[in-house]
């Protein structure tokens, strides 16, 4: 574990902060394994994540190895968790592991009492490995392999989703003690990534599915839905909660004891989103009061993913190559734009790495120059490319940028969701190294939340 600060030497910082925080963790019976195994920086007051990025870049610039890297701001994750609990007080988060599965992140969420939405055997293994009770896991995948169903059964994971009759038959034969959650389809939510094409049972099939479960002696305990990514209409949450209430009523006809409502994910991860988290929360809270009021003996969970991690991770990439192409005097757009040439910049991360999210239409990360260029510099039509030999490995095109140099750094904010998990080693390029950072105040919040969770 590293310690970053501005007023002490590295040795002094390590002596003061490492000893105190190791002792603090041991006093509170919190394992340090996931910290000691990671590149983790404890930042003293006044030292920001951007300071840490600058420090890493300055050190890398003294060498020839100027590899791309990520910085995960775990304090941002803690703040998001606290805000979630405050804004949706009746909803317990079950973090969507598929969104970002790095161990320090999921371990910190576990310490704060989060549950987990797992979609595969490997994700269940990860969450079990960090010591999470299987009661805090929902196997939220409606199309499961038989061997994975058996693994969940042997691991003590009982909650799992379904949306069709054949899935019920598989579960009845391989995990008869499962507690099933019926995933229903949503009406059109105008989401950028609609889930209904692949998942969810239409309302007119739910009564049959509930009856089938009863005949197979399979317990159905609740209903789930997911409005999709980039939802533009928060009222779809209210409509889906109302639909879930109808299914609860159907379930009573077949003596299913319904105790769980899972409102899924789709929550925005940045303040720039067209629909804010607070707007969605207001709609959800009102709908819960109407259809599942307090005292109704129904637990409400959600599956936030990008909400927690999108804004918590920053990518630093280096320009490793450059090509200038002379133009035949095209039209100029704007006073600073120079039409005489265009620039191709090749970065040491691309579509097969952190930028893989672009393939899934999840939005474009925010680009920042590490060294802010002069406002007087002319702008050239530019394109950004990844390091592989695939001509499809293009990050961006038609950008008007000042002329950049080989060795310059670019920063991308909001890269925490569906980036690390979808990276590959195509062409032998490995995903960027991840540095984690947090302040002492955030650690104290983690410990406080851990104690509250254990006492609840």
Instruction: Read off the pLDDT of residues 72-115 as tens digits, 9 standing for 90 and up.
Output: 999 999 999 999 999 999 999 999 999 999 999 999 999 999 99
pLDDT at 400 over 60: yes
pLDDT for the residue 193: 59
Written as six digits, the tokens of 425 are: 């080693």
147 in the Ramachandran plot: left (φ > 0), alpha (ψ -120 to 50) or beta?
A: alpha
Q: List every span in the chain annotated with CATH 2.40.37.10.
A: 311-435
Per the DSSP assignment, residues forming a β-bridge with 435 are 71
Checking if the pLDDT of 27 tops 90, the result is no
For residue 23, name the pLDDT band (cuts at 50, 70, 90).
very low
| pLDDT tens digits, 185-201 | 987 656 555 667 788 99
Query: How many angstroms separate the Cα of 362 from the Cα of each of 273, 278, 445?
Result: 12, 20, 31
Which stretch of DSSP H or E encloses residue 152? Answer: helix 146-155
Do the bridges between strand 313-326 and strand 69-73 make them parallel or antiparallel, or are there none, so unpaired? antiparallel
Q: What is the mean pLDDT of the chain?
A: 88
**pLDDT surpassing 50 at residue 299:** yes
Show Cβ contacts of residue 199 under 8 Å, excluding neighbours closer than 6 positions. 142, 163, 183, 185, 226
Sole residue written with tokens 């995990």: 175
The three-state DSSP-derived secondary structure of 309-348 is HHHHEEEEEEEEEEEEEECCCCCCCCCCEEEEEEEEEEEC
What local confidence, expressed as pLDDT, does residue 230 receive?
A: 75
Q: In terms of CATH architecture, what is 77-310?
A: Alpha-Beta Barrel (3.20)
Q: Could you say which of 143, 231, 362, 389 is catalytic?
A: 389
Pair of tokens at residue 360: 């899934």
Q: Where in the chain is CATH 3.20.20.10? A: 77-310
- Of the listed ranges 74-78, 274-278, 372-376, the least confidently predicted one is 372-376
Give one word for 308, left, alpha or beta, with left for phi > 0 and alpha for psi -120 to 50.
alpha
Assign 18 a pLDDT band (cuts: 50, 70, 90).
Answer: very low
pLDDT in tens, 33-64: 555 567 888 888 788 999 999 999 999 988 88
pLDDT surpassing 80 at residue 332: no
Percent of the chain with pLDDT over 90: 72
- 421 touches 56 (CB < 8 A): no
Whether residue 414 contacts residue 310, with contact meaning beta carbons closer than 8 Å, is answered with yes
φ and ψ at residue 54, rounded to 5 degrees: -60, -40
- The alpha carbon dihedral of 259, 263, 265, 268 has a sign of negative
Does residue 432 have a pLDDT over 80? Answer: yes
- Residue 302 confidence class, pLDDT cut points 50, 70, 90: very high
Give residue 34's pLDDT.
Answer: 57
CA distance readout (Å), 389 to 299, 324, 358, 393: 51, 19, 18, 8
pLDDT confidence of residue 158:
98
- Of residues 65 and 57, more confidence is placed in 57
Is pLDDT above 80 for 330?
Answer: no
Q: What does the pLDDT read at residue 228?
A: 85
pLDDT digits (tens, 9 = 90+) for 116-154: 999 999 999 999 999 999 999 999 999 999 999 999 999
Examine the residue annotation and report whether 118 is marked as an active-site residue of this protein. Answer: no
Q: Looking at the predicted structure, is the pLDDT value of residue 20 above 60?
A: no
Task: Report the CATH fold assignment for 311-435.
Answer: Lyase, Ornithine Decarboxylase; Chain A, domain 1 (2.40.37)
Spatial distance between the Cα atoms of 393 and 405, rounded to a whole number of angstroms: 20
Give the model's pLDDT for residue 12. 37
State residue 24's pLDDT score.
Answer: 47
pLDDT bucket at 365, cuts 50 / 70 / 90: confident
Report pTM.
Answer: 0.90
Return the number of other C-beta atoms located less than 10 Å from residue 433's C-beta. Answer: 12
Q: What is the pLDDT of residue 116?
A: 98
The dihedral built from the CA positions of residue 159, 160, 161 and 166, taken in this order, carries a sign that is: negative
pLDDT value of position 191: 59
Residue identified by tokens 């320090």 is: 104
Q: Is 232 or 306 the better-scoring residue by pLDDT? A: 306
pLDDT in tens, 193-245: 566 778 899 999 999 999 999 999 999 999 999 998 877 889 999 999 999 99
List the structure tokens of 134.
């299987």
Contact 153, 178 (CB under 8 A): yes
**425 pLDDT more than 70:** yes
């Amino acid at each position: 574990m590293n310690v970053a600060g501005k007023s002490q030497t590295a040795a002094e910082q390590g002596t003061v902060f490492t000893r105190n925080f190791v002792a603090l963790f041991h006093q509170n019976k919190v394992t340090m394994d996931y910290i000691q195994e990671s590149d983790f920086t404890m930042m003293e007051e006044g030292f920001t994540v951007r300071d840490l990025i600058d420090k890493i870049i300055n050190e890398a610039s003294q060498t020839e190895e100027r590899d791309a890297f990520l910085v995960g701001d775990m304090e941002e994750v803690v703040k998001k968790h606290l805000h979630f609990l405050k804004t949706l007080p009746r909803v317990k988060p079950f973090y969507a592991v598929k969104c970002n599965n790095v161990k320090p992140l999921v371990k910190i969420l576990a310490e704060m009492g989060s549950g987990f939405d797992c979609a595969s055997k490997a994700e269940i293994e990860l969450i079990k490995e960090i010591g999470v009770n299987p009661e805090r896991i929902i196997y939220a995948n409606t199309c499961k392999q038989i061997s994975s169903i058996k693994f969940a059964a042997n691991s003590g994971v009982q909650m799992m989703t379904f949306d069709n009759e054949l899935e019920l038959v598989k579960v009845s034969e391989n995990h008869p003690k499962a507690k099933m959650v019926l995933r229903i389809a949503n009406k059109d939510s105008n989401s950028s990534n609609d889930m209904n094409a692949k998942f969810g049972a239409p309302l007119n099939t739910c009564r049959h599915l509930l009856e089938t479960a009863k005949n197979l002696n399979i317990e159905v305990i609740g209903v789930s839905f997911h409005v999709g990514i980039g939802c533009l209409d928060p009222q779809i949450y209210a409509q889906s909660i109302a639909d879930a209430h109808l299914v609860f009523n159907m379930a009573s006809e077949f003596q299913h004891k319904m105790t769980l409502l899972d409102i899924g994910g789709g929550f925005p991860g940045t303040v720039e989103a067209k629909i804010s988290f607070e707007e969605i929360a207001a709609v959800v809270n009102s709908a819960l009061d109407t259809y599942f009021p307090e005292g109704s003996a129904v637990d409400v969970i959600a599956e936030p993913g990008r909400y927690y991690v999108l804004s918590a991770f920053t990518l630093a990439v280096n320009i490793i190559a450059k090509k200038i192409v002379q133009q035949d005097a095209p039209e100029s757009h704007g006073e600073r734009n120079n039409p005489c040439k265009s620039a191709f910049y090749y970065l040491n991360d691309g579509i097969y790495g952190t930028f893989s999210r672009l393939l899934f239409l999840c939005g474009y990360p925010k680009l920042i120059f590490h060294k802010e260029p002069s406002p007087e510099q002319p702008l050239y039509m530019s394109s950004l490319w990844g390091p592989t030999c695939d001509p499809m490995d293009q990050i961006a095109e038609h950008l008007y940028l000042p002329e950049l140099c080989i060795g310059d750094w670019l920063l991308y904010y909001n890269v925490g969701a569906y980036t690390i998990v979808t990276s590959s080693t195509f062409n032998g390029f490995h995903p960027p190294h991840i540095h984690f950072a947090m302040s002492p105040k955030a650690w104290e919040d983690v410990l406080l939340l851990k104690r509250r969770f254990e006492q609840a």
